[in-house]
Every structure is written in structure tokens, then in C-alpha cells.
Structure 1
Amino acid sequence: MYKKIIVPVDIGQLDKGEKILAKAIELVDDGGSILLLNVAEDIPGYISIELPVDFIEASIKEAAEQLTALNEKTGAKAQILTRVGSPAREILAAAEENAADLVIIASHRPDFSNYLLGSTADRVVRHAKCSVLVDR
């Protein structure tokens, strides 16, 4: 069905990541590819002063290790990518740069803050140039 699927995974919610990766495996064409993505959020300067110097680098390394383990566990044979920045913006950029035709993203039940700020999944759905499948 799909040639290139982006699967953004929150390392804090690997169970949801495993679920959406399994869906990607079902939906990818023979010869298609899956890109497992994690985005480490930028830390504002006033907070980063309190964190170890290599905090972001350590987060990226841990995310790559977790994604590799998830990839091996599911047998997805996905490409792994880590990025730093705003999650929604980086997911959208990765989808565009990799000419994705589907993004599968996990979501959660919205709370009051989502109505004021919006969630990552909401932003991806609104701005993606490809199809988006949201798993709740």
C-alpha cells in the first residue's frame, strides 16, 4: 500500500511505538521502507544550564539504542533516524525530506492543555503533505 512510512516513536512510550510499528509493517509495500524516528526536544537555554553538557547527545544515543532494540524485536528492518528540535516540525521535515507517503503516529486522549496548545499528532495531521494515520 505505501512505499515510505515514517513512524515517530516517543521513547517514553515504547509500547505505543511497538503498536504503530506493527501497523507500519502491515501497510508497507514489498520493497517499501519504514523510517523509525525519534525527536529529542530542544531544551531552552535557561533550563539547559542546569543539565549536564552532553544531555542532548546522551538522549540521542539512548533513543537510537531503544529504536534499534524495537526494530530488532519486531523484525521491521526499519531505518533509524534521530533528530533534535520541535517534535511536530521535525516529523514533518523528515516526512518531506524522505518523500514519505504515510506517517503513523501515536496519540493520547486529549486533555485541557491540548485544546490550548495542540498536541504533536494534531500538528502533524494539520500540516503533513502526505497521509497520516493516528493511533489512539
Structure 2
Amino acid sequence: MATKIMLPIDHTDDRSWKKALPVALEQAKFYGAELHAVSVIPEIIQLPNLPPNYGAGAKAHVQKAVEDILKHGGAADVSVHIEEGSVYREILKLAHKDGYDMIIMASAKGDFPNYEIGPNLARVVRNAHCTVMVVRD
């Protein structure tokens, strides 16, 4: 039984949510669970040739993009978490810290040997403390 479900979303890749969002909504309804969306922004390294405020506004931009995706997917009431860092590490940290008992992630088409299991999904599946449901593309 799930009480808290995480749906990682990459706002730049509709394969990360097009099939997974309806499944996540269905699972949340079935279990009566909370559904939360998470998006991870890669950490911006401050190089000497970049201005000090480089990347400012990135979290707000991603938050709005994810909220728009959820709104159009019939899930406007879903909470959104924006993290910064390594995708799989931030998903695993948040899942453990906030007590998620299910993660629903979409697969992505890849090259051999990872035809549909990309590196982030593979690491989440291998290391998550909770159930991980993979929605195949």
C-alpha cells in the first residue's frame, strides 16, 4: 500500500510524464495516496567567466513549467518540489527524507545496452528504499 507517491518530471522531455502522469494519478487515487511531482535542475557550476547571478530564476522557471504540465494533465493540485543537483541522487534523497513509499518513473528510449532504462532510472531502481514503478514508453 502506498501513502505518498513521487513522480519525477523532466519539463524538457514529455516522455518523462506523458504516460507516467496518468498512471501516477491512477495509483494515487487507488491507494488514496498523496502525489508529489519532483524536478531536478542540474547544479550550475560557477565558472570564472560567468556572471555571479548566472542561473538565477531557473527554479522559478522549472516550477512554472512543471505546474503547467500538471495543470494540462488534470493534476493541478499536485505538490511540486524543485531540487538542484544530480537527478538520481536528489530523487533518492527526497524519497528517503520525506518518506515516500512509491516512485513512479517513465522509461526512455536509449542506446544499447540501456534500450529503455536510462542511467538515472537504473540507479533509482537499484537504490531506492521503496517500490519503484517503471512506466514503459
Q: TM-score, normalised by structure 2?
A: 0.82
Higher strand fraction: Structure 1 or Structure 2?
1
Moved over 6 A (4+): none
Aligned: 1:33 with 2:30: no
CA distance in structure 1 between the partners assigned to 2:53 and 2:11 by the alignment: 18
Identify which range, 100-109 or 82-91, moves more after superposition: 100-109
How far residue 52 of structure 1 moved from its aligned partner, in angstroms, is 4.9
RMSD: 2.4
User: Do 1:35 and 1:79's aligned partners in 2 also have CA atoms closer than 8 Å?
Assistant: yes
Q: Which runs of 5+ in 1 are unaligned?
A: none
CA distance in structure 2 between the partners assigned to 1:38 and 1:119 by the alignment: 16
User: Do 2:8 and 2:16's aligned partners in 1 also have CA atoms closer than 8 Å?
Assistant: no
How far residue 108 of structure 1 moved from its aligned partner, in angstroms, is 1.6
Structure 2 counterpart of 1:5, which letter? I
How far residue 23 of structure 1 moved from its aligned partner, in angstroms, is 0.7
Alignment length (residue pairs): 132
Q: TM-score, normalised by structure 1?
A: 0.83
| Same amino acid, percent of matched pairs | 31
How far residue 112 of structure 1 moved from its aligned partner, in angstroms, is 5.1
Identify which range, 118-127 or 81-90, moves more after superposition: 118-127
Structure 2 counterpart of 1:87, which letter? V
